Amino acid sequence: MLLALAVARGESVPAAAGRVMRDAQGVAIVLEVDSGRLLACTRPDLAARRLVRPGSTLKPFTLLALVNTGRVRTPTAQVCPRRLRVAGRILDCSHPVSPLPLDATAALAYSCNCFFATAAAGMPPGELPELLNRLGLTSPTGLMAGEAAGWARRPAGSAQVVLQALGEAGVEVTPLAVAEAYRKLALRRKTLREPDEAMDLIFAGLEAATEYGTARLANPSDLPFPVAGKTGTSTGAGPVRHGWFAGFAPARDPRFVVVVYLEHGSGGRDAAPRAGELFRALLP
């Protein structure tokens, strides 16, 4: 049951989500971090049963796998060549040109495909799918009846390892599963008391993404607290591109998780500003 929580403009959370998504083909999901309650979901059918590639919203979990396998450490950095071809696919970076090496925080903030592709090359093929399964990204969340189960297959070959690390092959998830996975990240953020290399890099990257990276439009300047989150633009059938934003706020003491998934669009240009408007309603 959705919680009719009052927010800005005298709206309930479901009404605010409906307003944000009124002209969009997609779904907005709001979860309460502490309780795990589903506060709003504009399209339960899409949220629970639409299986789709997660694109760059997967990169925080990819970074966790890369740190776990020793392929990325805090000092790891590289100059981005911007041009990336994997198994015949064009996956060039679109972030601003920088002559300086990008570390993991900046790579996550800018969603640098080249950084993640280089780091993931040679990663054990079972590492990421096993992690995603263990984290529950491929399992029903239990928040709705009739949820579809996602999947993450063991890649066959180094190119498929890289594509999976970028969220572009070998994995499909529901928007609801992405929301629950980010809620688990938010809970970890609330309880993190000791240094943890992987988590510190992930949280710094998610905050940087909304400060100067691809998710800037999810963090309106008039919000009383900063947002942490990640955009994604994943491929579908033919030329279709799906737009994603997944994140939480306040960044350092999360109360809400917001996921916006669009059937057509981009993460930074289309999904992020809708998420920002919803955060504005949730955090007046």
CATH of the domain at 145: 3.40.710.10
Residue 2 lies in a domain: no
Residue 263 lies in a domain: yes
Cα 263 to Cα 244: distance, rounded to the nearest angstrom: 9
Number of domains forming the structure of the chain: 1
Among the listed residues 55, 33, 47, 42, the one whose alpha carbon sits nearest the alpha carbon of residue 141: 47
For residue 69, pLDDT beyond 70: yes
What mean pLDDT do residues 162-188 have? 97
For residue 5, pLDDT beyond 80: no
User: pLDDT exceeding 90 applies to what percent of the chain?
Assistant: 89
Residue 48 lies in a domain: yes
In this structure, the dihedral spanned by the alpha carbons of residues 184, 185, 187 and 188, taken in order and rounded to 10 degrees, is 120
Among the listed residues 34, 48, 49, 55, the one whose alpha carbon sits nearest the alpha carbon of residue 187: 34
**Secondary structure (3-state) at 77:** strand
Q: What is the pLDDT of residue 2?
A: 39
Which range of residues forms the domain containing residue 98?
8-282
Residue 241 lies in a domain: yes
Query: How do residues 216-227 score in pLDDT, each as one tens digit?
Result: 999 998 888 899
Residue 68 lies in a domain: yes
Residue 34 lies in a domain: yes
Tokens for 72? 């990325």
Residue 266 lies in a domain: yes
For residue 284, pLDDT beyond 70: no
Distances (CA, A) of 85 to 88, 111, 120, 245: 6, 16, 14, 25
Residue 104 lies in a domain: yes
Alpha helices (H) in 28-166, listed in sequence order: 44-49, 59-68, 104-110, 113-120, 127-135, 158-165
Q: If you search the block for the tokens 């998780």, which residue do you land on?
A: 257
Indicate yes or no: pTM above 0.85. yes
Tokens for 202? 């992930």
Query: Residue 270: left if φ>0, alpha if ψ -120 to 50, beta else—which one?
Result: alpha
Q: What is the pLDDT of residue 193?
A: 86
Query: How do residues 109-158 score in pLDDT, each as one tens digit?
Result: 999 999 999 999 989 999 999 999 999 999 999 999 999 999 999 999 99
Tokens for 149? 């189960």
Query: How do residues 188-235 score in pLDDT, each as one tens digit?
Result: 999 998 999 999 999 999 999 999 999 999 999 888 889 999 999 998
